[in-house]
A and B are shown apart, each in its own frame.
Chain A
Amino acid sequence: MFENLKRPVVSSLTLLALAAVPAASQQLPRPGELALQTAREYREQARYPESSHVLKAGEADPVRAKRTPTKQSRRGPEGAGPELSVWASAVSVEVGKPIDLFAEILTGGKPVLPLELSAEIAGPAGEIVAQVVYRDDGRTPDRRANDGVWSARLTLPAGLEPEGAEAYMVRATARLLDGDLRQAAGGFLYSNPSARLTGRYRDAVRNGNLVISAEVEVREAGRFHLSGTLYSRAGEPIGTAQAAAHLEPGRQWIKLPFYGLMFHDRKVAGPYRLGTVALATAGRMPNALNDLIENAYVTKGYKLGVMTALPFAEPKLLESASRLEAEAVRSQVAQ
C-alpha cells in the first residue's frame, strides 16, 4: 500500500519542488503549502504519544485550564452598556456541595450599581430549580463589600442528584437604577461522580517513562478518566498526561504515564510535583467531574538519564505527514 509515501525522499522532493517556485510578493498561499505546514507540525507532534506531551516554558497547565471557570458577558440592546458578566466558582460542583455564583456590571471597566441582581437556576428542560439573590456586602461568600463583584451561594435542593451529571443554566438579571435590565447566561455542572481519589499515590520509572499511579475508590463500575500536570521544583508546569480505564467497585489504581522525553526537552530532573490532577466519571455525557486536586503528590528524585530521550514516533501522525507531503508535491505538479 503506497510504501513509497513513507520514503524520506518524498520530503526532500517536496522541499525541492516548493523551492523551485519563485518567491513572489503576491499574497496567495501556494497550493500545497498548507499541506506541507501541517505535515511539519505532525512530525513534531509525533515525538510524543497522544496521551502525554511536554509543555513549553510559560505554557499554562491544561488540566487547570479545563477546570477554570470563565466569565460570560452580555451587553444591553444594540450593544449598549453597561455589560453584565456572570461566572461560577467552579466549572463543576459535586452533589451536596455549595457553589458560589458571581456577577459584575461594568461600564468602561468601572462597576455600575444595580438596584437588584438575581438569578434563576434552570435545568436542561428549562425547569427552574432554584433562585438566588446576589450581594456585594462583604459577607461570605462575597469577598469584599462594594467592590463591584456580587456574590451568591447556591446549594441545589435534595432530589436533584443526577445519575452522572447535569448541566444547569444560570439566568442572571440585573435591574439598573434607571429601570433598564441586563441579562446574562452562565452555568455549572452538577456532578455525581462514581469514584473519588483517595489521596494515595506512588511513582516508578517504567520503560523510561515516569508512571504515577493514583488510588481511586470506585462506588459504581464505570469508565474513569484521569489527567494530571507535572511541575518542576521551581513551580513550572513541565508536561501533562491522561489515562482512562474501566474500573470495578472498590479501591483501584489508575496509572498516569508521563512520557520520558519531556524531562529532557525541559532539562528538568526529579523530584516532580503532581501540581494538578482531575478525575472524571466518563462513559456518558455529560461526564461527572470531581473537584480539581492541587499539589497532590511529590515523586522521588530521578536523574534525567533514567528517562527515555527517544521520540515516540506516533505512527498515525507520521503516516499523515507522509501523505500530506506527497499531496503537496502533487499540488505543485498540477499547477
Chain B
Amino acid sequence: MSGRRLVISCLLALALFAVAGQAVAQPCLIFVHGKQTNTNTYTSYSSARNYWVNGSADFVRTATKSFATSYYVVGYNGTRPYWESQSAGEVANEIVNATNGGADGGGKRCARTYANGGTFWVIAHSMGGAVMDYILGNNDASDPNFNANGPYDQVAARLSMVITTGGAHRGSQGADAVCLQANPLCSFIAIFIQSCDDATYWLRSSDDVQVKTYSNAPAKTIYLTGGYEAIFGASACLNGEDDGVVQYASIFACNGSATASYDNSNVCGNSSKQESSGFRNLDAAHENHSDERDDSDSDVRKQVPGGIWTCNGVPCAANTTVQSSMTTARFISILY
C-alpha cells in the first residue's frame, strides 16, 4: 500500500471511528408518528419512515445530525384510539425492541442497548404525544391501566425523556369539528383527521376521552414544542394559536379547558399542566402541523413561558424571537 493510500485509509478509519463513537455517545432517537387515515404506517416501514420526509427534507436525518446518531422508526396503527393494542401496545413493544438492540422495519437499530448503558429519547408527533402520555402514565402497578397491552413499565424504565412536537395531549378541536359534521368551513380534508374514525373520536376535547382521565403523571419527562403557523380553513376552527390541527392548549398539555385560547406569551407554564408533574415547555416555532415533522420549514422560533431558551444567562421573556431560521428537527439536534 502506498503512503498516500495508507494516509487516506487512516483518515477514513478515523472518520468512521468518530462517527461510530458519536453514535455510541449520544442518545438513540426513537420516532413515533401521529394520527393516520389508513394502516400504512403499521404495515409498511417505508410509510412510517416517509412520515418524517417531505421531498428532500428529512426530519430524521436532521435530528440525528445526518445519521451520526442512531435511530429507530416506530410504525403503529394510527387509525386506532391512542390506548389500543395496535397503537399504545405496538409503540411500547417497539420501544422495548429498540432498547434491546432490535432493528426497526428498515434495519436501523440503536447503537447501544439499554443493558449496555444506552440512553433513549422518544420524538413523538401529534397523536404520538397522547400515545406516549398513556404509556408513561400507566407504567406503575398502582396506575389504572398498568401494562394494559404492552410493557409500559419497561418503556418507562428505559426511556430518558420524550420530546413531542405538535403533540395532541389534550386532543384537537379539529377532531371536535370533524365529529360535529357541521361546519364545512372547518376544512381538515387534507389533514389526518378527515373523518370521525375511532382515533379521531378519542382525540376530541371533552374530558371523557382525554388521556389524562385514564393515566397519571408520566414517569419520564415529556418536553413540549409545537407550531403556530396557521393552515387556511382549519385554523379558523381552533382557539388561540395553533399549527392548523392542534391548538396550543393541547400542544402544551395545559390544565383546565382543552379549548382555551393561548399564544406564545400566555400559554400555560410548567406548573399548569394536565398532570402535576412530568410536562415541561421547550419552545414554539412558526411551523404548521406538517412542518413540525418533516423539516421542510426553517423558520422563526419563539420562547414560551418556562421554555428552554436563555437570553444573557436568564430565561428569555415569553414570545421573544430566539431563532430566525431553525426547524424543529434542527432544534432537537442541538439538545444533545
Binding site for B on A (CB under 8 A): 1-2, 5, 23, 25, 27-29, 31-35, 38, 41-42, 45, 50-51, 53, 55, 59-60, 62, 65-66, 69-75, 77-79, 85, 88, 91-92, 124, 126, 167-171, 173, 181, 183-189, 225, 240, 242-244, 280, 282, 285-287, 289, 316, 319-320, 323-324, 326-327, 330-331, 333-334
Contact = CB atoms under 8 A, between A and B. Distances in A.
Interface string B298-310: 0000000000111
A25 B312 contact: yes
The bracket for how many chain B residues form the interface is 35 or more
B160 A324 contact: yes
B180 A2 contact: no
B167 to A, nearest CB: 17
A333 B217 CA distance: 33
B239 interface: yes
B213 A169 contact: no
A29 B309 contact: yes
Contact of B183 (A77, A85, A242, A285): A77
Contacts of A1: 115-117
Residue among A74, A167, A189, A282 with max Cβ neighbours from chain B (10 Å): A74
B185 A77 contact: yes
B308 A29 contact: yes
Contacts of B213: 66, 91, 189, 286-287, 289
Contact of B259 (A28, A50, A74): A74
B319 interface: no
Pick the 9 closest A-B CB pairs, nearest first.
A187-B206, A51-B142, A2-B117, A189-B208, A225-B144, A330-B25, A185-B176, A50-B140, A282-B144
Given A185-B205, A331-B336, 17 more contacts: A5-B117, A31-B336, A32-B336, A50-B142, A50-B143, A60-B255, A62-B275, A72-B205, A77-B236, A88-B207, A185-B177, A188-B206, A188-B207, A189-B207, A287-B145, A320-B160, A327-B336
B196 A74 contact: no
B276 A55 contact: yes
A183 B26 CA distance: 49
Nearest to A281: B144
22 contacts: A25-B313, A27-B316, A29-B308, A31-B334, A34-B335, A45-B277, A51-B142, A66-B213, A72-B176, A72-B259, A73-B260, A74-B173, A74-B176, A77-B183, A187-B208, A188-B206, A242-B142, A244-B141, A285-B214, A287-B214, A324-B160, A333-B25
A207 B114 CA distance: 33
Contact of B142 (A126, A244, A286): A244
A53 to B, nearest CB: 8
A70 B176 contact: no
Contact of B206 (A34, A38, A72, A334): A72
Given A34-B336, A73-B239, A77-B236, A183 B182 contact: yes
Contacts of B308: 29, 33-34
B237 interface: yes
- Residue among B141, B142, B157, B275 with max Cβ neighbours from chain A (10 Å): B142
Given A34-B223, A316-B157, A243 B142 contact: yes
By secondary structure, the A interface counts as mixed
Contacts of B207: 69-70, 88, 91, 187-189
B212 interface: yes
Contact of B160 (A35, A85, A225, A286): A35
B219 interface: yes
A24 to B, nearest CB: 8
B247 to A, nearest CB: 11
A92 B259 CA distance: 19
B27 A327 contact: yes
Interface string B205-243: 111110011101101110100000000000011010000
A285 B258 contact: no
Given A184-B176, A243-B142, A334-B26, A38 B160 contact: yes
Contact of B180 (A168, A171, A334): A171
B191 interface: no
B137 to A, nearest CB: 10
